[in-house]
Amino acid sequence: MPTQANVGDFLEIHWPNRKKGSYLSISNTNATWLNHQTAFVGVAARPSVTIVGRTSYTHGGLFRSPREIFFTGIVKVDIPSLSKSSLLRLPASVRTRLSNFSEADADAEFARLKKITTPVHGSFNFHECWHRPLHDIRVTSGFASPRTPPGGQPYYHTGIDLHAPMRTPVLAAADGQVVYKGESPLTGNIIILNHGGGIYSEYMHLSKFDVAAGAQVKRGETIGLSGATGRVEAPHLHWELSWQGIPLNPIRFLQASAQTCDQE
Ligand SMILES: [Zn+2]
């Protein structure tokens, strides 16, 4: 078992030989079975996750070798301190745009989006290899980095910011359905895709939409163009992934997918 995890990590536990008498219990977090052999654990902002079980297992990512074992694993979760948050440097035009948008409005907007991205509709295709949301990705602000908006309270970045000059094509990271297309002073123009199993991806601050609400999209398809709408310091793509409302670290998710998907 890995002993250290970060908020937003995506742990997969594979049970290739699940037998009668085998069991797995996971405390302090949400977990679900993706299929009869694979459990899927999202790590939220809690200090530790305890995994207890008896089986032969392999652990995706950090541990790949099969073991026949009774195990107790405690995964400690690193939570960055909010006191180390950096102040968002918003241009004057963005501050003007946000002048009537209060902290309570921002909380309400986050809650509204979370409601869209929490239900489990359809099943997740564990075999699909995920695509990057841009042809080239360069992270300019990492997952869970603490930050403070001007005049507001510190919070954790729930996605990653990717370098994207204006009007860079934004790609669907996996097959999915457009479950939300809209705009707000916070997110700017935003698209949310449902990938089944409680997994959703979000693409924010777009300058243009290229898909309709309700549309089925294919992995790698252009769904819009990047921009600087919403609460932004400069043009970029904010990309977010969540599972049942728990934000996941998108980079770790891409790595996990690359290790476990069926390469075409
Ligand atoms: Zn961001």
Separation of 159 CA from ligand 1 center, angstroms? 6
Give the pLDDT band (50/70/90) at residue 62.
very low
The average pLDDT across 221-250 equals: 92
Separation of 119 CA from ligand 1 center, angstroms? 23
Structural domains of the chain, count? 2
Separation of 129 CA from ligand 1 center, angstroms? 24
- Judgement on whether residues 86 and 160 belong to the same structural domain of the protein: yes
The average pLDDT across 238-254 equals: 85
Looking at this protein, which amino acid is placed at residue 258?
Answer: A
Q: Between residues 204 and 20, which one has the greater pLDDT?
A: 204
**How deeply is 163 buried, as exposed, middle or buried, from its count of CB atoms within 10 A (0-12, 13-18, 19+)?**
middle
Q: Is the pLDDT of residue 178 over 80?
A: yes
Q: Between residues 29 and 111, which one has the greater pLDDT?
A: 111
Q: Which of 78, 100, 134 is the last residue of a domain?
A: 78
- Count of CB atoms situated within 10 Å of the CB of 4: 10
DSSP characters over 63-120: --S-EEEEEEEEEEEE---GGG-EE----HHHHHHTTT--HHHHHHHHHHHHHHTSS-
Q: State both tokens at 61.
A: 């990512």
* CATH code for the domain of 256: 2.70.70.10
Separation of 238 CA from ligand 1 center, angstroms? 4
- Judgement on whether residues 36 and 135 belong to the same structural domain of the protein: no
* CATH code for the domain of 51: 2.60.40
Separation of 185 CA from ligand 1 center, angstroms? 14
- Per-residue model confidence (pLDDT) at position 92: 92
Q: Is the pLDDT of residue 96 over 80?
A: yes
Q: Is the pLDDT of residue 33 over 60?
A: no
Q: Is the pLDDT of residue 232 over 90?
A: yes
Separation of 232 CA from ligand 1 center, angstroms? 8
Of the chain, the percentage scoring pLDDT greater than 90 comes to 42
Q: Is the pLDDT of residue 72 over 60?
A: no
Give the pLDDT band (50/70/90) at residue 63.
very low
Residues with CB under 5 A from ligand 1 (ion): 161, 238
Give the pLDDT band (50/70/90) at residue 80.
low
- Judgement on whether residues 56 and 24 belong to the same structural domain of the protein: yes
Q: Between residues 23 and 84, which one has the greater pLDDT?
A: 84
Q: Which of 78, 109, 133 is the last residue of a domain?
A: 78
- Judgement on whether residues 154 and 38 belong to the same structural domain of the protein: no
- Judgement on whether residues 41 and 70 belong to the same structural domain of the protein: yes
Give the pLDDT band (50/70/90) at residue 124.
confident
Mean pLDDT, the chain, integer: 81
- Judgement on whether residues 65 and 151 belong to the same structural domain of the protein: no
Residue range of the domain that includes 186? 82-260
- Judgement on whether residues 190 and 175 belong to the same structural domain of the protein: yes
- Per-residue model confidence (pLDDT) at position 213: 97
Q: Is the pLDDT of residue 188 over 90?
A: yes
Q: Which of 55, 78, 101 is the last residue of a domain?
A: 78
Separation of 5 CA from ligand 1 center, angstroms? 21
Give the pLDDT band (50/70/90) at residue 153.
confident
Of the chain, the percentage scoring pLDDT greater than 70 comes to 69
